[in-house]
Structure 1
Amino acid sequence: MEMNEYLDVFIEESKEHIQSLNSNLLELEKDPKNMDTVNEIFRSAHTLKGMSATMGYQDLADLTHKMENVLDAVRNDKLQLDSTIIDIAFEAVDQLEFMVFDIIDGGNGKKDVSDLVAQLKAIEEGEPIRHIKTNDSNPVDASENGTQTIKIGSLDQFETTVLQQSLEKKFNNFQVNIQLDEGCLLKAARVYMVFEVLEQMGEIIKSEPLVAELEEENFENDFAVLLITQEDKETVKQKIMKVSEISQVIVSTFDVKQSFEPEATENVSLEASKQKSSSTSNKEAKSKKNSKTSQLTSKTIRVNIDRLDALMNLFEELVIDRGRLEQIAGTMKHAELQETVEHMTRISGDLQNIILNMRMVPIDQVFNRFPRMVRQLAKDLNKQIELSIQGAETELDRTVIDEIGDPLVHLIRNALDHGIEIPKERVEKGKSEKGTLKLNAYHSGNHVFIEISDDGAGINKEKVIKKALSNGVIDEDQLATMSDSQIHQLILASGFSTADQISDISGRGVGLDVVKNTIESLGGSIEIESEYGKGSLFSVQLPLTLSIISVLLVEVSKEKYAIPLSSIIETAIINKNEIMHAHNKQVIDFRGKVVPLISLHDIFEIPGDKEDEAFHSIVIIRQGDKMAGLIVDSFIGQKEIVLKSLGNYLTDVFAISGATILGDGQVALIVDTNALIK
C-alpha cells in the first residue's frame, strides 16, 4: 500500500491530536476526576495509535498504545491519577510531538522511547515508577577542551564538491560550534543573528540541527554550522562572540574526506526517485477515478499553503492592472468603459476580501502552545500562575502568524520569570499567592492588538532611568521631557540587552530589543504600561495583512511616494509663516503639540531645487506616542497597492520599506514611517 499520498493528511491530523492531548491534559490536571476529559484524551491517543500503525511509524504506535492502556485503566477505576502520572503523560506527548516533527522534516519518526514505554507499563500494572531518562536528539562529541560539540553529519556529493573546490581556491572550511547562554530566551532570534554574522564572512553549507529545527527552537543550547570563509579561526570566533547571549564558540578545521558517504547519497537519491515515480503514478490513477459521493463531501478541504501564496501573487498582478484600467478610463472619459471598470473594481474588491480571508488563521494556532509552556515554567520557578486567554479566535494573515510566535513566547517568559513574584513575596505585598497572566487578542480597524498583562512587580522606573543614563541611551535633557510611558519604552532599547540587566531591572530588558525589531519588521509596534508593584501591560499592534495595503500617494519633485494610511493621523496645508524652530529643527504647533517637520526632499536627496512656496503640504504621521510632519509637494490620493520588496541588493535603504507598481507603470517607493520618526 503506497502511503505517500496520505502523508500530508497524517501530519495535519497528528498535529491536531497532539494539541488536543496537551489541552485536555491541562484540563485533567485541574480536575483529575473528570471522566469526560479522560475519554477525550483516550480517543485522541487511540486515533493517533491507529494512524501511526497504518503508516508504519511503530515507535509512535507503541507509545500511544501504552498511553491508551493507562487511560483505559483510569476510565475503569483501576487507577487513580496523580501529578506523577500526569507529568509522565506530558513527557509522552512531548516525545510524540518530537517524532511527528521528525516526520515533517523528512525523517522516519523513530526515537528510543523504550524507557517511557516501560514507565507507562509500570503505571498500568501498579508497579513503582522509575526515573524518566532524557533522550538527546542531537549527536554530540567532545572537543579538545572537554566541552560538548555537535557533529556535522555526512555530506552529499554536491556539498562535498563545493568544499573541495573551496580548498583549491585557498578558502577555509570551518566547523563552527556555538553554545547559547543557559538562560537564553529567544533562541531562534539569536541563531538568526549568528547566521547574519556568518553570511557576512562567507557561505554556510550546512547546519546541525537543520535550519527548520533551529527556527522552531527544536534544540537545546548548542548548534553547529559548516562555513566556507577567507577569515581565520580567531576572527570568526570574535565576530560571533559580539552577538549577545553567546557563551562559547569553538571553530575547528573541517575534514571533507571523513564526511562524504557516496553510497548513502546514491541510495537516498534512488529512494527519492522511486517515491517521486510512485507518487506520480498514484496521482494519475487517482485522477481517473470517478467520485460518486458528492453528497457526502465535507464543506471544508485542506489546501496547500503554496497554492494560496500563488493565488495571492496572481491577484496582486490583477490589482496592478486594475489601477491601470482605472487610470485609462478616467483619461478617456468613455461612459461604457468607466461603467465596466467600476463593476470590475467592485468584483475584484470582493475577490480580494475572499482571498485575504482564505489566508487568515486564528491566532489560537500561536496561543495554544502557551498553557503547556506556562505550566512547565511555573513548576520550574516554584510559582503559582493562572493563565487567562481571551480572543483566541481573532484572525491574522498567515505570514504574520508565522513571525509573531517567538516574540510572544519571549514576552510571556519574561512576565513569568521577572514579572510575577514568588508566592511568599506576593503574600508579603498583600497579594494572593497565585499570580495572573492574561493574554488577550482583538481586532481594531485594520489592525490586531495582542495584550500580555501580569499582576506582578511592574517596572521600577528609577532603575530604568539610572540604567538608561549609564548606558548612554538617553541624556539628562531628553529625560526632562519624557513621560512615564516613554521611560517604560526604554527597556526595548538595544542598550539594555546586557549581562547585568537581570539584576538591575529584574531582567525586563533582556532580549526585548529583538522582540521590538521583529514586531516593527512586520509593520507593527509595541507599547508598555506599568505601575510599580502592581503589574505591567505589553500591547502589540500588528497589521491584518502584509501584502496589500492602503496608502496615500504623494509627490515630491515629480517623484511619487506611498505613505501607509495606518500611520497617518491627517493631512494639512500650512502657511510657511506657521513654521517655527526649536533645537535647530523645524516644528509646527499641531493641536497644542510641538511636532517636528521632516522634508522628504532632503531625506531622500531628490535631485532638483525645492519649490519655495508660501504654503506647504504636510502629512502628520504617528508611531506610538511620537508624531512627525512630512513635507511633500502635493497629495495625489488614496490607493490600495501591492507591497513588493526591493530585493536582496537593496536591503538597507533608509526609510524605504518596499515599492509598488502604479497603474501607469511607474514605480512608487513606500515610506517607512517608523524609521523617519526614530
Structure 2
Amino acid sequence: MELNQYLSMFIDESTEHLQAINENLLRLENSPHDIEIVHSIFRSAHTLKGMSATMGFEDPASLTHQMENVLDLVRNGKLSMDPVIFDALFKSADALEGMLKDIVAGGTGKADVTEIVAQLKSIVSGDRKAPVAGGGSAVSAQNAAIQLDEFQISVLEQSLNSGYQVFFVETRLTDECVLKAARAYMVFRVFEESGEVIKSYPSVEDIEQDRFDHSFSVYLTTHKSKESLEKEILNISEIHSVSVNALTKESLRQLSKGTASREIAAAVQAPERGVEKDTAQSVKAQQGQAAGAMSSRTIRVDLERLDNLMNLFSELLISRVRLEQLAGEIKHSDLQETVEHMARTSSELQNIVLKLRMVPVDTVFNRFPRMIRDIAKNLNKKVELIITGADTELDRTVIDEIGDPLVHLLRNAIDHGVESMEERAAANKSENASIYLRAFHSGNHVFIEVEDDGKGINTEKVLETAMKRSIVTREQAAKMSEKDIHQLLFASGFSTADKISDLSGRGVGLDVVKTKIESLGGAVEVESSIGSGTKFIVQLPLTLSIITAMLIRVEAEKYAIPLSSIVETAAITKDKIRKVHGNLLMDYRNTVIPVVPLAEMLEVPHHEKADDSEVNLVIIRKGAKLAALIVDEFIGQQEIVLRSLGKYLTHVFAISGATILGDGQVALIMDTNALIK
C-alpha cells in the first residue's frame, strides 16, 4: 500500500491528539478523579496507536499501547492517578512528540523508550521499583537525513570556490532550556550575521514553532573561522555544546550521492573515503521529501523583505491620500471613481501587508502552562495559570524577543509572589494560587500583564536590601515613593531571595526583563498590594508602519490619534466640565473621568475664542481607564504612515511618531497611553 499520500493526514491528526493529551493531562492533575478526562486521554492514545500501526511506525504504536494499559486500569477504577503515573504519562507524551518530529523530518519515528515503557509496565504490574527514566525521552532526531538537492550542493561548491568556509554545524541546547525556539533564534541570528544558512534540520518553520528536540543542525557558508563561530554560539546562554565541521569539495561530492547526516562526520573526517548509498536510507529520504512537501504550507520570508514591502506600501499610501485630496478638489467624476476604486484595492492590500508581520502572542503563551506545572511541582506549590487575550497580535520582531522576559516574570511570580501552601493557609487563602497572563491592545501598543494573588511586595525589605547592596543611600530611601521602591526590583544584581536556588537568588532576572523590554521601545511597571498580590505591566509597541487614526486640530497644529484607543467623540457645553482640586472632571456614562486640555498639555500657543461655550472632546481608553481630550476640530479618519522621530527626539512626552499628510504637512502621532495615569 502507498502510504505517503496519507502521511500529511497522519502528521496533522497526530499533532492534534498530542496537544489534546498534554492539555488533558494538565486538566487531570487539577481533577484527578474526573474519569471523563481519563476517557479523553485514552481515546487520543488509542487513535494514535491505530494510526501509527497502520503507517508502520512501530515505536509510537508500542508506546501508546503501554499508555493504554495504564489508562485502562484508571478508567475502570483499578488504579488511581498519582504523581508517579502523571510523570510517566507526561514523559510518554514528550517521547511521542519527539517521534512525531522525527517523522515530519523524514524519519521512521524510532526512539529508545525502553525506560519509559519499563516504567509504564511497572505501574500496570504494581511493581513501582522498576527503573524510571531520569531525563525524559531519549528521542533524538539528529539521526535523520538532511538531504541536499543539486542546487544547494552547487551553492556550497560555489561558496568554497569563492573563498568562503562551508560548515556543518550541530548545536545542542541544555536539557533545562525552557524556550528552545528563542535560544535557537539567537543561534540563527549568529549564523545570519556571519553568513548564510543553506539548509537546516529540523526545518526553520519547525524550529520557530518549537517543534524540535534539544538539538538542530545547519549547512552554513561563512567568512568566519571555525573557532570564531564556536565561540559566538557558546556565548549564548543555555547552549550545551556545538560541533562545527568543515566540509571540503570531496565531502560535498559524497553528499551529492545521498550521504545522510549520521554519515557526515565520516565524510568530513575522511573525505578521501567514499560512502555508499544505502537503500533503506534512500527510502527514508524519499519519505522525508514527501512529508516535507505535504506538511509544509508556509514559506520563510526574510524580515528585511517584509520591511521593504511595508516601506514601499507606505509611500503608495501617502500618494493615494494626496491623489484623493486632488480628486476632491478637481471634482471630475471619472477621476473620482478611479481613485475610489484604487482606495478600495489598496485598503485590501494594506490588510494583507499588515497581517504578514503579525503573529498572535499565543505562539509564546502556549509554552507556559507546562512550564508553570513543572516549576510549581518542584517548589511544592499549587499554581493555576489563567491565560486571556492569547489571540492578541504583535509584530513578529517583538514576538521573537518577549519570550525570555515573560519566563522571568512568571518564574518570579511563582517563586517570590506566590506563598507556600502553609503560608496561604495561615493567611486564610486557598492553597491553589492563581497567576494571570493577559494580553490586550490599547492604542498602537500591546499590554501584557503578569499578575499573581500572592503576598505582594514588602517595600521595607526591598529598601533594606537596596541599601545593603548600596543601590540607594539611606537619604535617598527616605524620599522614595512606593512606585520608586518597586522600580528598585529592576536594578542590576538586585534580589530579595534568602538563598540561591535554580530559580532565584543570583540577582539576574528583572533587570534583564527591563533591559529587553526597553530595547523594544516598551516599558514595564509594577503594582502591588501587601497580602493581595503583584501585577507586572509590560507595554510594547505594535511597531506597525501603518495605522488608522483620527486627525484632529489643536490651534494651528494637526495631530493623529490612533483609532484603536478612541472610544468616541463628542461636543459638550463648557459648563459640564468642573474643576475639583485643580483637576478638570466631567460626568461620563455613570462615572467621572478626567478632562485634558491638549493645548495646555502640549504647550501649543493658544488664545481665547469669541464663542467658547462648546468644546470638542475625544474620549480615549487605556485598559479600563478613560479620559477626555479637549480639541479644536475633528478633521476626520484617515490611514496614516507611522514614521519615527529619529534618535535625537527620543522619549518625547505623549508623542509616538509622526506622519506625512496628503497635503505634505507633518502631523504628530499621539501616545494617548501617556496621558492616562
TM-score (norm 2): 0.62
Shift of the alpha carbon at 1:467? 7.5
Q: Which amino acid is 2:384 matched to?
A: L
Q: Which residue of the partner structure matches residue 327 of structure 1? A: 325
Q: Does the CA contact (< 8 Å) of 1:501 and 1:509 recur in 2?
A: no
* Distance of 2:417 and 2:519 partners within structure 1: 26
Provide closer, same or farther for how the CA distance between residues 594 and 248 of structure 1 changes in structure 2, counting only shifts above 3 A: farther
Local SS of the residue matching 1:130? coil
Aligned to 1:299: none
For 2:234 and 2:532, the matched residues in 1 are separated by: 37
* RMSD value, Cα: 6.6
2:258 is aligned with what amino acid?
N
Residue of structure 2 equivalent to 1:68: 68
- Equivalent position amino acid for 1:110 in 2: K
The alignment status of 1:640 with 2:639, answered yes or no, reads yes
Per the TM alignment, residue 93 of structure 1 is displaced from its structure 2 partner at its CA by 0.8
Task: Indicate the residue corresponding to 2:382 in structure 1.
Answer: 385
Shift of 1:36: 1.5
Aligned to 1:267: 258
Q: Would you say how many aligned residue pairs link Structure 1 and Structure 2? A: 588
Partners of 1:667 and 1:4 in 2: CA distance: 60
Post-superposition shift, 1:669?
A: 12
1:437 aligns with 2:435: yes
Matches within 5 A, 1:71-470: 71-128=71-128, 130-133=130-133, 134=135, 135-137=137-139, 157=153, 161=157, 189=182, 228=222, 254=245, 256=247, 260=251, 262-267=253-258, 304=297, 323=321, 325-335=323-333, 337-338=335-336, 341=339, 366-381=364-379, 383-389=380-386, 391=388, 394-396=391-393, 399=396, 405-426=403-424, 433-441=431-439, 449-461=447-459
User: Bigger shift: 63-72 or 129-138?
Assistant: 129-138
Deviation at 1:128, TM superposition (A): 4.2
Show structure 2 runs of 5+ residues with no match: 261-281, 569-595, 608-619, 624-633
Output one character per residue of 1:285-324: Cα deviation in whole Å (capped at 9) or x when no partner: xxxxxxxxxxxxxxxxx99466999999799689677546
| Matched residue type, 2:12 | E
Q: Secondary structure at the match of 2:327?
A: helix
- Contact 1:178–1:246 (CA<8 Å) still a contact in 2? no
Please state whether the residue corresponding to 1:102 is helix, strand or coil. helix
Give percent identity, aligned residues only: 47
Distance (Å, rounded) in 2 between the aligned partners of 1:329 and 1:387: 59
> TM-score when scaled to structure 1?
0.62
Determine the C-alpha separation between the residues in 2 that align with 1:668 and 1:10. Answer: 56
Matched residues in 2 for 1:209 and 1:385: separation? 36
Q: Look up the equivalent residue of 2:330 and give its one-letter code.
A: M
Is the Cα–Cα contact under 8 Å of residues 186 and 410 in structure 1 kept in the other structure? Answer: no
Partners of 2:641 and 2:51 in 1: CA distance? 43
Does the 8 Å CA contact 1:522/1:546 hold for their aligned counterparts? no
Opposite residue 26 of structure 2, the aligned amino acid is L
CA distance in 2, matches of 1:671, 1:4: 54
One-letter identity of the residue aligned with 1:81: M
- Alignment CA distance shift 1:389-1:230 (3 Å): closer
Relative to structure 2, which stretch is displaced further, 497-506 or 34-43?
497-506
3-state DSSP of counterpart to 2:525: strand
TM-aligned CA distance change 1:486 to 1:407, over 3 Å: same
Secondary structure of 2:95's counterpart equals helix
Q: Would the aligned equivalents of 2:548 and 2:563 in 1 still touch at CA under 8 Å? A: yes
Query: Which letter maps to 1:132?
Result: V
Q: 1:196 to 1:268 in 2, by over 3 A?
A: closer
Q: Secondary structure at the match of 1:64?
A: helix
- Residue 154 to residue 64, structure 1, CA distance change in 2 (3 Å): same
**SS at the partner of 2:258?**
helix
Q: Measured at CA, do residues 539 and 202 of structure 1 come closer, stay the same or move farther in structure 2, by a change above 3 Å?
A: same
> Mean Cα displacement is larger for which, 369-378 or 479-488?
479-488
In the TM superposition, residue 386 of structure 1 has moved relative to its aligned partner by: 2.8
Over 3 Å counting, the alpha-carbon distance change for 1:254 and 1:264 in structure 2 is: closer
Secondary structure of 1:267's partner?
A: coil
Does residue 32 (structure 1) correspond to residue 32 (structure 2)? The answer is: yes
Alpha carbons of 1:353 and 1:206: their partners in 2 closer, same or farther (altered >3 Å)?
A: closer
Q: Quick one: which amino acid aligns to residue 639 of structure 1?
A: Q
Contact 2:442 2:621 in 1 (8 A): no
Amino acid of the structure 2 residue aligned with 1:25? L
Between the aligned partners of 1:433 and 1:46, the Cα distance in structure 2 is 35
**Superposed, which structure 2 residues align to 1:407-556 within 5 Å?**
407-426=405-424, 433-441=431-439, 449-461=447-459, 483-492=481-490, 495-496=492-493, 510-512=508-510, 514-516=512-514, 525-531=523-529, 534-541=532-539, 546=544, 548-550=546-548
Q: Sort the Cα spacing of 1:8 and 1:645 in 2 relative to 1 into closer, same or farther, 3 A.
A: farther
Per the alignment, do residues 449 and 623 of structure 1 end up closer, same or farther by CA in structure 2, a change over 3 Å counting? closer
Which residue matches 2:44?
Answer: 44
Give, in angstroms, the shift of residue 90 of structure 1: 1.2
**AA aligned opposite 1:74:** V
Matched residues in 1 for 2:138 and 2:415: separation?
26
TM superposition shift of 1:537: 0.6
- Residues 566-619 of structure 1 show CA distances to partners (whole Å, capped at 9, x for unaligned) of 79999xxxxxxxxxxxxxxxxxxx87999799xxxxxxxxxxxxxxx9779xxx
Residue type at the aligned position of 1:123:
I
Distance across 2 between alignment mates of 1:198 and 1:100:
27
